[in-house]
Amino acid sequence: MSSNLSHSSQTRKTVIETEHGVVAAQHRLAAIAGAEVLAAGGDAVDAAVATSFVIGVLEPWMSGPAGGGAMMLWRAEESQAHALNHGMRSPGALDPANYPLSGRGKAGDLFPWEHVEGDRNVQGATAIAVPGVVDGLGRAHARFGKMPWGELLSPAIDHARRGLTVDWYAALVIASCTRELAKDADAAAVFLEDGQWPTISGWTALAEKRLDQSRMADSLDQIARHGARALYDGDLGAAMARDVQDKGGCLSRDDLQAYRAEFHAPLDFAYRDARFHVVPGLTAGPTFRDTFASLETEDLGSAPGPDSYAAMAAALKGAYARRLGSMGDTGESPEAPGCTTHFSVVDRHGNMVAQTQTLLSIFGSRVVSPSTGFLMNNGIMWFDPVQGRPNSLGPNKRCLMNVCPVIGEQADKRFAFGASGGRKILGAVAQLSSFVTDFDMSLEDSFHAPRIDASDANQLIADESLPHDVLDRLREDSTVAETKRTIFPYAFACPAGVMRANGQNSGCTEIMSPWGDAISEDMTKDIEA
Per the prediction, the chain carries an average pLDDT of 93
Q: Is residue 56 part of a domain?
A: yes
Strand order in the sheet with 480-483: 452-453, 460-463, 480-483
* Cis status of the peptide bond prior to 489, with omega within 30 of 0: yes
CB neighbours of 31 closer than 8 A, spacing ≥ 6? Answer: 23, 24, 25, 51, 343, 517, 518, 519
Can you give the pLDDT at residue 331? 38
Q: Is the pLDDT of residue 285 over 90?
A: yes
Cα of first residue to Cα of last residue in the chain, in angstroms, is 35
* Three-class SS of 258-271: HCCCEEECCEEEEE
Can you give the pLDDT at residue 528? 59
Please state, for a pLDDT cut of 90, what percent of the chain lies above it.
84
Can you give the pLDDT at residue 9? 83
Q: Is the pLDDT of residue 453 over 60?
A: yes
Can you give the pLDDT at residue 526? 78
Can you give the pLDDT at residue 211? 96
Please state, for a pLDDT cut of 70, what percent of the chain lies above it.
95
Question: Range of 124's domain?
Answer: 12-164+213-524
How many domains does the structure of the chain reveal?
Answer: 1
Q: Is residue 195 part of a domain?
A: no
Can you give the pLDDT at residue 336? 41
236 pLDDT tier (thresholds 50, 70, 90): very high
Residue 328 and residue 390 in contact, taking contact as beta carbons nearer than 8 Å: yes
Can you give the pLDDT at residue 139? 98
Residue 137 and residue 146 in contact, taking contact as beta carbons nearer than 8 Å: no
Query: Helices (DSSP H) in 120-279: which residue ranges?
Result: 133-144, 149-162, 168-176, 178-181, 185-191, 214-226, 230-233, 235-246, 253-258
Can you give the pLDDT at residue 326? 65
Q: Is residue 336 part of a domain?
A: yes
Q: Is the pLDDT of residue 499 over 50?
A: yes
110 pLDDT tier (thresholds 50, 70, 90): low
Q: Is residue 65 part of a domain?
A: yes
Q: What is the CATH number of the domain that holds 245?
A: 3.60.20.40
Strand partners, 384: 392
Residues 396, 408: Cα–Cα separation, whole Å: 33
Can you give the pLDDT at residue 207? 63
Mean per-residue pLDDT, 141-155: 98
Between residues 515 and 2, the one the model is more confident about: 515
Q: Is residue 401 part of a domain?
A: yes
Q: Is residue 498 part of a domain?
A: yes
Can you give the pLDDT at residue 8? 83
Listed range (23-27, 40-44, 98-102, 454-458) with the worst mean pLDDT: 454-458
Can you give the pLDDT at residue 47? 98
Can you give the pLDDT at residue 5? 81
Can you give the pLDDT at residue 335? 37
Q: What single string gives the DSSP state of each residue in 310-373?
A: HHHHHHHHHHHHHHHHHT------TTS-B--EEEEEE-TTS-EEEEEEE-SBTTTTS-B-TTT-
pLDDT digits (tens, 9 = 90+) for 313-372: 999 999 988 876 666 433 333 334 457 999 999 999 999 999 999 999 999 999 999 999
Global pTM?
0.96
98 pLDDT tier (thresholds 50, 70, 90): very high
Mean per-residue pLDDT, 119-148: 97
Strand partners, 345: 23, 353
Listed range (366-375, 389-398, 506-515) with the worst mean pLDDT: 389-398
Can you give the pLDDT at residue 157? 98
Q: Which long-range contacts (CB under 8 A, 24 or more apart) does 334-337 make?
A: 334/456, 335/108, 336/108, 336/109, 336/110, 336/361, 336/362, 337/176, 337/362, 337/422, 337/489, 337/490
Q: Is residue 146 part of a domain?
A: yes
Listed range (110-119, 273-282, 373-382) with the worst mean pLDDT: 110-119
Residue 41 and residue 20 in contact, taking contact as beta carbons nearer than 8 Å: no
206 pLDDT tier (thresholds 50, 70, 90): low
Q: Is residue 3 part of a domain?
A: no
Q: Is the pLDDT of residue 39 over 50?
A: yes
460-463/480-483 β-pairing: parallel
Residue at 366: amino acid letter: R
